[in-house]
A = this chain, B = another copy of it.
């Protein structure tokens, strides 16, 4: 069999604002690979099947001088992110041909990898689509699950006396926490909504379209609204104060959450997409409320919490997805050549559900 084209999505230049397909990234088919003969050198050849498009990727599209928690993409090289691939050939004792591997891949159709430890074999006895393993059962789901466990400290509603007459019972009823979840239709936010409902909390959910709002409601949000047409402040004033805020957006939404935070509120800082594509992020001016309301704000990166929760995640949470207890929604984009557009869609909120690039069928 002669060499085949190995399509790649390359990082071409650092964007000023939003990443522009064909400019920030370019799809390239000039590279060839001989699938039968390519040297493995003790490693394994993987056919990439699905790749995840996540908001955080924008943070890697930066100049090398700026240091942060994750390395920038190198200009001229493929982007990289979580994906699932199938092993075509292997010289590694740890993986075998036909194995499905979850881990970080370059944005290519075929890749030779040598560190089996960096991947997780997906046995998929639960019969989930492979795409789920980069979404609700992958990094975004891990993000929601780990940080909710670590930082939310949810206080559920309780009733100290079930036998009292109803008028008394009302008074003995302790209200549970109120949680506000931004980007509630995305893979992280939607999972948080469901974890919060499972913990018995009242959930306020914001999303950027009426379809997304309907989805947030369908998965249990008590109050869901389209932040583009309804004032976040008015909703929080009416439905708050909030005890937990899951932040995926930052900026004015964070400012509103601070304004309507209850005493001792926990803020889980997962993302700030409002700041990713601008050189002049919104300045939050009411931080003094952090003191008055004794707010605790926790920034986190999912990789820091992984070792503590990863086995619990796969053994306890993933089966809940397989059973249908936890719902999820996917936005499938077919073809690696369309990944640049998918990246822009995720930054601008055009996707509806977890954005997955289907690079190839198996």
Contacts and interface: CB of A to CB of B under 8 A. Distances in A.
Contacts of A285: 280-284
Interface string A264-304: 00000111100100001111111111111111111111001
Contacts of A304: 294
Contacts of A275: 287-288
B301 A298 contact: no
Number of copies: 2
> Which size bracket describes the interface of A in this complex?
20 to 34
B297 A296 contact: yes
Contact of A296 (B59, B68, B288, B298): B298
Contacts of A286: 281
Contact of A269 (B68, B283, B291, B300): B291
A267 to B, nearest CB: 8
Contacts of A293: 69, 299
Contact of A299 (B59, B269, B284, B291): B291
A250 interface: yes
A272 B263 CA distance: 18
Main SS class of interface, A = loop
A254 interface: yes
Contacts of A289: 299
A287 B250 contact: yes
A281 B285 CA distance: 6
Given A299-B293, A299-B294, A299-B295, A254 B287 contact: yes
Nearest to A293: B299
Given A250-B287, A287-B272, A287-B284, A69 B292 contact: yes
Interface in A33-62: 59
A317 to B, nearest CB: 22
A296 B294 contact: no
Interface string A253-265: 0100000000100
Interface of A: 59, 68-69, 250, 254, 263, 269-272, 275, 280-301, 304
17 contacts: A59-B292, A69-B293, A69-B294, A254-B287, A269-B287, A270-B291, A272-B287, A275-B287, A275-B288, A281-B287, A283-B284, A283-B285, A290-B297, A294-B301, A295-B297, A296-B296, A296-B299
